[in-house]
Amino acid sequence: MSDLTVNNISFHYPEQEVLLKNVSFEVSSGTSVSILGPSGSGKSTLFYLLAGLYSPTAGGMKLGKHELKNSGMVGYMPQDSSLFPWKTVKENILLGHKLARKKHAFSLDHWLERAGLVQVADSFPHQLSGGMKQRVSFLRALASGHNVICLDEPFASLDALTRTKMQKWLASLMADDQTFLLITHQIEETVLLSDRILLFMNGLQGRPKEIINPFPRPVRFEVRKTSAFWEFVQEIEIQLE
């Protein structure tokens, strides 16, 4: 397992103002961290940089002792499920394993069972519900074998009931040997799924403000019904204003 370090990175798109400037933060291995902030604050761009789709204009990123310079070093799940329509569920999932930089064990049957996808393993994306598509997309990222997985608003397109089910499902998969970075605009979801929260405001410079979640993983969905949970949600909302 390796910690993720972002050190003084800057980035801007051609002919645009600097989006991220000298941004630094660390993510300890085995934790879940949410990136929270308004649209246009550079959250998705940060994930593009971590996934190797773009390169920072300054600064660097490390996973343990290794520089994050190329794609394929972290798992990445975009907002859209982005499944290949001509491939079945199991073929889409296994694509992540085939493209992995390092060979590793991955039990397709085990994960199909845990995701509730056994009955649709040979189905095509157009035959799936929105929640099923998101589960397939997540398993494809998981099959890549990376210790760090970036999830960019994975449940944004789902209805409220399905979203709640998916939040509980993802929480059940979070393990101490896996690191998750999550972008979401829903503060409640942030509290349910994150150990730490980093606030990305427009024109971010330096270190983003950090908030520690006071609720441990095992009790988050239980305390959701308490006033303490919603008071904490409100505190975060105030800090975003």
54-83 pLDDT, tens digit each: 889 999 999 888 888 766 678 888 877 788
Whole-number pLDDT of residue 1: 59
Q: Which of 44-48, 109-113, 159-163 has the highest mean pLDDT?
A: 44-48
pLDDT tens-digit readout, 19-30: 889 999 999 988
- As given in the structure block, the two tokens for residue 86 are 């001509």
Question: Average pLDDT of 177-182?
Answer: 87
User: What is the fold of 1-74+147-166+176-241?
Assistant: Rossmann fold (3.40.50)
Positions of CATH 3.40.50.300 in the chain: 1-74+147-166+176-241
Which token pair is 157? Answer: 């397109």
Give the mean pLDDT of 35-61.
Answer: 88
Entry pTM: 0.86
One-letter amino acid at 90 equals K
The secondary element (H helix, E strand) that includes residue 212 is strand 209-212
- Residue 215: band (very low, low, confident or very high) from pLDDT cuts 50, 70, 90: very high
Provide the mean pLDDT of the chain: 86
* CA–CA dist 139, 113 (Å, integer): 11
How far is residue 17's CA from residue 166's CA, in Å, rounded to a whole number?
37
Strand partners, 75: 149
